[in-house]
Structure 1
Amino acid sequence: MQRRELMAAAGLLAASPWTQALPDSAAKPKRKVLRTAFNSAEVGFDPPQVSDRTSVAVNAHIFESPLTYDLLARPVQLRPQTAAGLPEVSADFKRFVFTIRPGIFFADDPVFQGRRRELVAQDYVYTVKRFYDPRLKTEHLYQFENAKILGLSELRQHAIERKTAFDYDREVTGLRALDRYRFEVRLAEPDPRFVYLFANAGYTGAVAREVVEAYAEDLLAHPVGTGPFRLKHWRRSSQIVLERNPGFREEIFAPGEVPPDAQSQAIAQALKGRRLPLLDEVQISIIVETQPRWLAFNGGELDLLEMPTEVAPLALPGGQLAPNLRKRGVQAFTSYGADIGFSFFNMEDPVVGGLSPERVALRRAIVLGYDNEAEIRIVYKGQAVPAQTMLPQMAYGHDPALRSEAGHHDMARARALLDLYGYDQRDAEGYRLQPDGSRLTLRRAGTAGSSRQRMIDELWKKQMDALGLRIEFESATFGELIKKALAKQLMIWGYIWSVGDPDGDFILGMGYGPNAGQSNDAQFRLPAYDALYARQRLLANSPERWALLQQLNRLLLSYMPYQPHNHPLRVDLCQAGVRGFIRHPFTRDGWRFVDSLN
């Protein structure tokens, strides 16, 4: 991934906070606090039950998976986290053995009754089994079911059929602790990329069984992990405060392969040999609206902020940091990660869903009629690039040369497509009717209380009117919209996915029929697609697998259950005293490495 520091001139680097001497270790210690903000409210802090960006980011600092990614290495590299090393992997990619380091402990909690609770292999066995518990509402189960862990789906089905509690104590062939610190996973089929699940705290961030059982229905408010921070205070939809976990193990930063860019080199130099985390506290504010969020940073009330795209003309005029911010020592870092902004069409909806030629034509006409470049220009102020497909730029399978209807606005062709497939009749207001003469109304959902969403809605209204399609809008909180999407209650909704590993499988899995009701928000089911998807999962990266990914990609573009919009450009703004921040494309625990001199 390319990262560039947005300074007016290269010479400014010499005066940046990165090159200043670190404080004398003998100086009086100062409490280090980082203040930041998110633009959407959290759902809670139990990884299997959440997928919103705010909750995921907080959880990543509390819970730890066995593996992680090197902070700086590009291309990205796996490295151990709570594991003693990378796992033992069989030649056929069907057996994986993880060894956990002794002496890692969960954060103190009353549940442990004053005893230090060590992390053991059985905790990861329990963590994975939770996804199979029918009582747990999760949209991530497919991540493990697709891998076909021997015995777990059958154990889940037994609980469903017998209407009994899921038996966590029953050992299965595919997942078991070998001893106190080693656990084994066995798969029915090869899965060369299975290890990525164990580098994602959202899937394999270890939890203690006694904590889950003690807090039960209130678990979302009581996260207890082994990570560098623990939850100190939570005021729902307003503020989340994390504090340093006093029982966190000794973790010394040791850089691996360091890219030659100035930001990476400076971070490696500043953090080398230092014990993590460096912060005492992280204060996260929930500020939905753009203007107050920007004013909070500009007024010095926030130390770190992902720049709202709407303020790009103020903060980055001409692509350079504004003189007033540069004078204050503000730092700006840009990156394209593994992100995709998109909309989905509910394929079970009677208006936009289905695989019949006229429904496919309707979806493709909507895509052709909506101008992604106008959205980038008007809403995102140029801080994105148009997406040609659903595959993000850093995902294996992304073809930078591919051009598609999604990236080519063509209103004339969109109108002709609708006319050709029977949408040529109009009502008294001039809006198109369905081929059978009935009313045609599109319904698009969006996040409540967001000025950006209002701008997007206005653009959709203008362009659908030009296409002759009536459109209405509904709004709710992000968490409520996720629930509605899983319940198949939304016709069209759009958001951004930040992919959690460097492979295209996750995005293409959004079209896999068995994933419907989980990551497959579109409820897309096509036997030919499912067969190709299942086949590519068995293959290591190779020309054969690459070709299959391209076929899957083109099927998504042909049937258009998803409408690709853009790949966002992330711009992170840091106050002068912030050091060590870098946006990793696949991890979410960046505060672990941040230092604050404020």
Structure 2
Amino acid sequence: MTLRTALSALLLAAGATCTLAAGAAPATPAKGEKVLRLFLSTSETGLDPAAASDIATLSLLENLFDPLLRYDYLARPVKLRPNTATAMPDISADKRTYTFRIRPGIYFTPDPAFKGVKREMTAQDYVYSIRRLYDPAIKSPWSYMFDGKLEGDEAFKQRFSHATQIPGLQALDRYTLRIRLKEADNNFLFYMATPASSVVAREVIEAYPGQAGNHPVGTGPFMIGEWKRSDRIVLLANPYSTAVFNATPGDDPQDKAIAASLQGKRLPRVDRVEVKIAEEFQGRMLGFLNSEYDYLEQVPESMTDMVIREGALKPELGARGITLSRFPVLQTYYMWMNMNDPVVGGYTPDRIALRRAISLSYNSREDIALLKKGFAIKAESPLPPNVLGYDPAYRSPVPYDPALANALLDRHGYGKRDADGFRRAPDGKPLTLTMHSEATVGGRLRDELWRKCLNAIGLRVVFKSDKKTEIIKASRLGKVTMFESNWIADFPDGDNFYQLLYGPNAGRANYARFNLPAYNERYEQARLLSDGPARQRLYGEMNQLIHAYNPWVPLTHAVSADLRHPWLKNYKRHPVEFTSWRYLDVDVAERARLSRQAR
């Protein structure tokens, strides 16, 4: 452990964008060393909790840095539990004051910024870390979690400085943190379990001005061992880690087995994690089948036939001990329409009828069966299953019904046709819909589905392909007419999805620029309520407004097809956290034996 610690310090002194010096994190692990092998589907960015927002980077941050709270690994429905806190916080009667007591003896991994001193993490470090989210130089995408919510935080807007103290964010002593809100926020504790609210050390941030993302120094279960950008990352077990497994299993026998295997044991369970960047679908699949990766989450739709036959794992893969599981992701796919667009936007009856007809034309069965290969369920509302506020009994009043769509368009002025048989606008001018799509194989397949659906009701559509990042930029500027998006929960509460249609969020998450007072009022009322009948009623009314005005076509909720090899132990996918690396174990001997047999 002493050698590993020293070598880690050398790495971070040299800069994390370089690979480790020879011998520090060898390409071939030591005999008997437990190594978890996996991939990330996209390249990482800078490893700064305050700045990163992409899933690949958040997956790494989750293992390098520590928030006060984490999700219970086994509890379903999900619940929070202490991480660096000794217990769940004390909460005042008005739900505005939260007092966290931090577990002593938690240390940052070594870095030259600490000048050889073993640096203990304290409450003041959390004050500094949360205050960084307000720093205008960082432009944190997570500032919304705290901005305008902490008592006195307007002082950060006047002139940001880390010397500024506010009553809403205080270290009462070395191990006690108090946060006071201006008003109650039912999702506040979820915010305290995100990577963005993880703790960083001020000395490290100031030692590398503007380069915090290149020098990740945290208190998490792992630390950086090797980092070759956009190619390979090696994480080493943090020798300072004091994390111990504790969880609440349900009745599932597999959950109970995991709990029995891990209860009271120190985390992490493996010595190192080797992460590769694998952007190509085929490379991921072949890598898993060749035993280069221990598990694969979300078999790509275009690769499903390689491993699945008639909804089940191919027998020859089952004979190798490979397991297939279905996991309902907290994710909603939807096609949104720009409410300010001159073709499909507006709140007049003819424009509402056009959007309603587009919704009625969408063939969810064909989408799920042919494009999703059966690994999805129809979206009845913005909320996926397992999110607080989800109503399993709710059904959309807008079914797949091309005949009704045609009748609706005829009735509202779209009855005239051009020489090719496509509908004209009510003023007699040509009518062409423009839908953006991703320049990928999957994007082209979706284009054909939409072309078939819209042509069936007499609507001409053209597709404009581009990179998703460019489409999102244009969407925020209001320059996109129609586009398919998806939203993965930041936290498992309905508010995280219904805010996507809240008027003041237009230009941000509300790409449709839907701004309906009746919806906004109900959203504002609902966000003040805890999960329960009163909020459920408001959510039902919001669903009805969405279906009445149709700024969205709710499409599907993904069901992930996940594969894992038999030597991987303690695996259970979590609905909210991105990774389970700290809990996973590897049977080294079984991996070696089965890998030889597979060759």
- The two structures have a TM-score, normalised by structure 1, of 0.86
Segment of structure 1 superposing worse, 468-477 or 258-267: 468-477
Deviation string, structure 1 residues 458-493 (Cα, Å, up to 9, x no partner) = 212222233333333344444444444444443333
CA displacement at 1:314 relative to structure 2: 4.1
The partner residue of 1:225 within 218, 231, 236 is 218
1:251 aligns with 2:243: yes
Deviation string, structure 1 residues 99-125 (Cα, Å, up to 9, x no partner) = 222222223334434333332222322
Contact 1:140–1:518, Cα closer than 8 Å, also in 2: no
CA displacement at 1:344 relative to structure 2: 2.6
Contact 1:447–1:478, Cα closer than 8 Å, also in 2: yes
1:543 aligns with 2:543: no
> Could you say which residue in structure 2 is the equivalent of 1:465?
455
Greater length-normalized contact order (CA 8 Å, ≥ 6 residues apart) = 1
Could you tell me how far apart the structure 2 residues matched to 1:128 and 1:559 are? 39
> Could you say which residue in structure 2 is the equivalent of 1:155?
155
Seen in structure 2, the aligned counterparts of structure 1 residues 48 and 483 have a Cα distance that, compared at 3 Å, is: farther
Seen in structure 2, the aligned counterparts of structure 1 residues 481 and 232 have a Cα distance that, compared at 3 Å, is: farther
1:393 aligns with 2:385: yes
SS in 1 for 2:158: helix
1:100 aligns with 2:93: no
Seen in structure 2, the aligned counterparts of structure 1 residues 239 and 372 have a Cα distance that, compared at 3 Å, is: farther
> Could you say which residue in structure 2 is the equivalent of 1:524?
514
> Could you say which residue in structure 2 is the equivalent of 1:174?
168
Contact 2:225–2:236, Cα closer than 8 Å, also in 1: no
Contact 2:43–2:231, Cα closer than 8 Å, also in 1: no
- What are the residue-to-residue correspondences of 1:461-540 with 2, within 5 Å? 461-540=451-530
Seen in structure 2, the aligned counterparts of structure 1 residues 412 and 388 have a Cα distance that, compared at 3 Å, is: same
CA displacement at 1:362 relative to structure 2: 2.6
| Runs of 4+ residues deviating >6 angstroms | none
CA displacement at 1:320 relative to structure 2: 3.0
Amino acid at match of 2:408: L
SS in 2 for 1:467: coil
- What are the residue-to-residue correspondences of 1:125-524 with 2, within 5 Å? 125-145=127-147, 148-152=149-153, 154-159=154-159, 166-201=160-195, 203-236=196-229, 238-254=230-246, 256-306=247-297, 307-405=299-397, 408-448=399-439, 450-524=440-514
1:577 aligns with 2:578: no
Flag the structure with larger Rg. Answer: 2
Could you tell me how far apart the structure 2 residues matched to 1:44 and 1:479 are? 17
Identity across aligned pairs (percent)? 41
> Could you say which residue in structure 2 is the equivalent of 1:124?
126
Could you tell me how far apart the structure 1 residues matched to 2:388 and 2:405 are? 31
Seen in structure 2, the aligned counterparts of structure 1 residues 58 and 346 have a Cα distance that, compared at 3 Å, is: farther
CA displacement at 1:506 relative to structure 2: 0.8
Contact 1:511–1:524, Cα closer than 8 Å, also in 2: yes
Could you tell me how far apart the structure 1 residues matched to 2:254 and 2:433 are? 46
Amino acid at match of 1:71: Y
Could you tell me how far apart the structure 2 residues matched to 1:127 and 1:257 are? 30
Seen in structure 2, the aligned counterparts of structure 1 residues 132 and 290 have a Cα distance that, compared at 3 Å, is: same
Contact 1:95–1:186, Cα closer than 8 Å, also in 2: yes
CA displacement at 1:579 relative to structure 2: 1.0
Could you tell me how far apart the structure 2 residues matched to 1:48 and 1:376 are? 37
Deviation string, structure 1 residues 262-292 (Cα, Å, up to 9, x no partner) = 3212222322343211223323333334333
CA displacement at 1:585 relative to structure 2: 0.9
CA displacement at 1:391 relative to structure 2: 0.7
CA displacement at 1:327 relative to structure 2: 1.2
Contact 1:41–1:478, Cα closer than 8 Å, also in 2: no
Contact 2:221–2:243, Cα closer than 8 Å, also in 1: no
Amino acid at match of 2:64: I
Could you tell me how far apart the structure 2 residues matched to 1:217 and 1:435 are? 56
Could you tell me how far apart the structure 2 residues matched to 1:231 and 1:566 are? 37
Amino acid at match of 2:152: G
> Could you say which residue in structure 1 is the equivalent of 2:79?
77
Could you tell me how far apart the structure 1 residues matched to 2:91 and 2:34 are? 41
CA displacement at 1:177 relative to structure 2: 2.2
Seen in structure 2, the aligned counterparts of structure 1 residues 467 and 192 have a Cα distance that, compared at 3 Å, is: same
Contact 2:336–2:551, Cα closer than 8 Å, also in 1: yes
SS in 1 for 2:405: helix
Contact 2:438–2:444, Cα closer than 8 Å, also in 1: no
1:561 aligns with 2:551: yes
Contact 2:55–2:578, Cα closer than 8 Å, also in 1: no
Deviation string, structure 1 residues 1-41 (Cα, Å, up to 9, x no partner) = xxxxxxxxxxxxxxxxxxxxxxxxxxx96222222234344
Seen in structure 2, the aligned counterparts of structure 1 residues 553 and 144 have a Cα distance that, compared at 3 Å, is: farther
> Could you say which residue in structure 1 is the equivalent of 2:27?
none
Segment of structure 1 superposing worse, 505-514 or 29-38: 29-38
Could you tell me how far apart the structure 1 residues matched to 2:207 and 2:416 are? 61
1:53 aligns with 2:46: no
**CA RMSD, Structure 1 to Structure 2 (Å):** 2.7
Contact 1:341–1:497, Cα closer than 8 Å, also in 2: yes
SS in 1 for 2:292: coil
SS in 2 for 1:364: helix
- The two structures have a TM-score, normalised by structure 2, of 0.85
Amino acid at match of 1:274: K
CA displacement at 1:564 relative to structure 2: 1.5
What number of residue pairs does the alignment pair up? 558
Segment of structure 1 superposing worse, 102-111 or 291-300: 102-111
Contact 1:484–1:490, Cα closer than 8 Å, also in 2: yes
Contact 1:397–1:550, Cα closer than 8 Å, also in 2: no
CA displacement at 1:335 relative to structure 2: 2.0
Could you tell me how far apart the structure 2 residues matched to 1:476 and 1:114 are? 50
Q: What are the ranges of 5 or more consecutive residues in structure 1 without an aligned counterpart?
A: 1-27, 160-165
Contact 1:155–1:167, Cα closer than 8 Å, also in 2: no
CA displacement at 1:87 relative to structure 2: 0.6
Contact 1:31–1:280, Cα closer than 8 Å, also in 2: yes
CA displacement at 1:565 relative to structure 2: 1.2
Could you tell me how far apart the structure 2 residues matched to 1:155 and 1:356 are? 44
Amino acid at match of 1:369: S
CA displacement at 1:582 relative to structure 2: 0.8
Deviation string, structure 1 residues 555-587 (Cα, Å, up to 9, x no partner) = 223223332211111222111211111111122
Seen in structure 2, the aligned counterparts of structure 1 residues 270 and 418 have a Cα distance that, compared at 3 Å, is: same
Contact 2:368–2:376, Cα closer than 8 Å, also in 1: yes
The partner residue of 1:109 within 108, 111, 135 is 111
CA displacement at 1:305 relative to structure 2: 0.4
Could you tell me how far apart the structure 1 residues matched to 2:428 and 2:288 are? 53
Seen in structure 2, the aligned counterparts of structure 1 residues 495 and 123 have a Cα distance that, compared at 3 Å, is: farther
Amino acid at match of 2:316: N
SS in 2 for 1:252: coil
Seen in structure 2, the aligned counterparts of structure 1 residues 476 and 64 have a Cα distance that, compared at 3 Å, is: farther
> Could you say which residue in structure 1 is the equivalent of 2:3?
none
Contact 2:223–2:238, Cα closer than 8 Å, also in 1: no
CA displacement at 1:231 relative to structure 2: 3.6
